[in-house]
Structure 1
Amino acid sequence: MRTSLVVLTIGLAVGLAGCESKIGRGAAIGGAGGAVVGAVVPGLSTVEGAAIGAAGGAVVGALDKDDEGRQWYRDEYGNRYYIDKDGRRRYD
């Protein structure tokens, strides 16, 4: 049961890694890593590890800002952009 939960969590994280924002991608990768750690460490469940890893990954993903405080994203073609104060995409 534990192994299948780890495999499922990693599969979901790989699927979510395509998230547009760095926060979502960091949470997905952190959740997968945390699930593996939770499965290996005695006294820590896979779900607890995934939750801790996802929270940590989201925090790290949120730190990806430039000097002017802009959060950068990638569109479906891989182009970098940020959202300006009027809600419009501004590309590199």
Structure 2
Amino acid sequence: MTREIVVIDVVPRILTLENTVVELFNIINKTSDKEVILDFKGVEFMNVAFAQKYNELKRECKKNISEINLGEYASLMSVAINLFEY
């Protein structure tokens, strides 16, 4: 089955803290569904630190995660995939 999670229903609308990503992935990992769709509709801001941590945890996650309604943050998410942590 597929589970759809509206991001702003489970974490703040302003995505700046790495702890917020950890909280989001705790919710994702608790679901029994193997496929998860994250709906980013209503997100007011996302910074590079959030996008970087999101991509890191997405790579580590055993679930198939896809995103919808990223809007202006789609390019930030794709750039953050290629950033590496020190």
Does TM-score exceed 0.5, indicating one fold?
no
Higher relative contact order (CA closer than 8 Å, sequence separation 6+) = 2
TM-score by length of 2: 0.28
Q: Hey, which of these two has a bigger chunk of strand by percent?
A: 2
TM-score (norm 1): 0.27
